[in-house]
Amino acid sequence: MIEAKHIKKQVKTEEQTLTILEDVSLFVQAQQTVAILGASGCGKSTFLAILAGLDNPTKGEVYLDQVLLNELSQDQKALLRAKLLGFIFQDFQLIASFTALENVMLPLELVGNKAAKEQASYWLEQVGLSHRLKHYPKQLSGGEQQRVAIARSFINQPKILLADEPTGNLDQATGHKMIELLFELNQTQATTLVLVTHDQALAQQCQQRYRLEHGTLQIQDD
């Protein structure tokens, strides 16, 4: 489902060229669940962005559902994302002028799905926010915002879900519930899950665990 081959990522800053990812390869089968761990600043978010086609690797290839991302234009990637991908951003990226409900509806609205509102209310209920539909991100706590972001990533029932620290802001109980939801999705919709997390407990529930260190990815055996 996801295949990354020898990904290298360098960014040029004013003074020097910074190598964030040296040589990273990853293979994830359909419906598999994978956790990526690593110290802060080691390049996890960068790697996830490359998998999602938001960022281009300096070297290496990414296949999503057998499609080689490198060959696609920005626009084609956008369409592929709409079809295939769900993404939970580390800092949520909710739209400030939209209510919680509208934020969740957005991916479906953009493709003209009529059921956007029902779906969105359903998923917001699933994340326990059915009473906050009309509230703006500003009015929500960090954890609540994160749950909205999670609901949004579920709504187009993606085949692949990339989640950047989906439980970072949640207390244990709520975090636990969110994780349950993630895995439920994985079961019922056959969604492939790639999670970036610091949470060992969450990582343990995944079928595979990797550690990103010094620009390379290693399988982590406990």
Partner 1 sequence: MINFNLFLFIPKLLWRDWRAGELHILVFAIVVAVTSIVAIGFFSAQLELNMQGQVSRLLGAPFIVRSMNHPLEARWLLQAEQQQLTISQSLVFASVLSTEQQLHLSDVKAIDDNYVKQIDIRIAPDFDQVAIKTQSPPKSGTIWLEERLFYLLQANIGDKVELGYRELEIAGVFVYESRQSRSWWMISPKAFINRKDVASTKIIQPGSRVTYDYLFYGDKSNIELFRQWLQPQLSSSQWILTEKNIPRALNSALQKARDYLLLASLISVILAGVAIAIASQHFSRLRWDQTAVFRCFAYRKRDVLVSYIAYFLLLSVISSSIACGLGWLLHWVWLIWFKDFLLTFALIPSWKPIVVGIGSGIVVLFGFSLPVILQLASVPPLRVLRSHLMPLSISAIGLWLSAIVTVFILLWWYSQHFLLVFLLFVLGFGLLLLLLAMSSIGLISLKAIVNLSSGSFHWALLRILRQLSWSLAQVLALSLVFMLVGLAWFVKLDLFQGWQQQLPSNTPNYFLINIQPFQIEQVKQFVATSQINATDFYPMIRGRLIELNGQAIKDAIPAKAKNHNVLRRELNLSWASKVPEHNSLVQGKWWSDDISEHWVSVEYKLAKTLGIELGDRLSFRVGSEVITATVKNFRQVKWDSFYPNFYMILSPRILDQSSITWINSFYLPPKKQLLLKQLSKQFPNITIISIDAIVHEVRQILQRMLLAVDYLLLFVLAASFTVLFATLQASLAQRRTEMKIFHLLGCQQSQLQRQLWWEFLILGIFSGILAMLVTEAVIYGLYTWVLHWAFHWHPWLLVLPVLTVMSLMLGVRGMNRKVLSAP
- Which positions lie near ligand ATP, rule CB under 6 A? 11, 13, 18, 20, 38, 40-46, 90
Draw the binding track, 34-63, toward Mg ion (x: CB under 5 A; -: no contact). Answer: -----------x------------------
| Contact of 36 with 196, CB cutoff 8 Å | yes
Name which position in 3, 78, 143, 213 contacts partner 1 (CB under 8 A): 78
Interface characters, 109-148, with partner 1 (x: CB under 8 A): xxxx-----------------------x------------
CB within 8 Å of 73: residues ≥ 6 apart: none
DSSP letters for 55-103: S--SEEEEEETTEEGGGS-HHHHHHHHHHHEEEE-TT----TTS-HHHH
Residue closer to partner 1 by CB (options 103, 167) is 103
> Which of partner 1, Mg ion, ligand ATP, none binds 96 (CB below 5-8 Å, type-dependent)?
partner 1
Angle at 87 between CA 95 and CA 124, to 5 degrees: 60
Question: Would strands 208-213 and 216-219 be described as parallel, antiparallel, or unpaired?
Answer: antiparallel
Residue 101 neighbours by CB distance under 10 Å: 22
DSSP letter at 146 equals H
Q: How far apart are CA 140 and CA 118, in angstroms?
A: 21
Q: Does 93 bind partner 1 (CB under 8 A)?
A: yes
State how far the Cα of 6 lies from the Cα of 26, in Å rounded to an integer: 8
Stretch in the footprint of partner 1 (CB under 8 A) among 31-39, 61-69, 94-102, 209-217: 94-102
Task: Single out the residue of 188, 181, 179 nearest to residue 206, CA to CA.
Answer: 179
The item of partner 1, ligand ATP, Mg ion, none sharing an interface with residue 13, based on CB under 5 to 8 Å by kind, is ligand ATP
Question: 108 with 156: CB under 8 angstroms?
Answer: yes
Q: Verify binding: residue 54, partner 1, rule CB under 8 A.
A: yes
> Considering only residues 82, 128, 135, 220, which one is a binding residue for partner 1 as defined by CB under 8 A?
82
From ligand ATP, partner 1, Mg ion, none, interface partner of 42 (C-beta below 5 to 8 A by class): ligand ATP
Q: Whose structure tokens read 């706590």? A: 141
Instruction: List contacts with partner 1 (CB under 8 A).
Output: 45-46, 49, 52, 54-55, 74-75, 78-79, 81-82, 87, 89-90, 93, 95-99, 102, 106-107, 109-112, 136
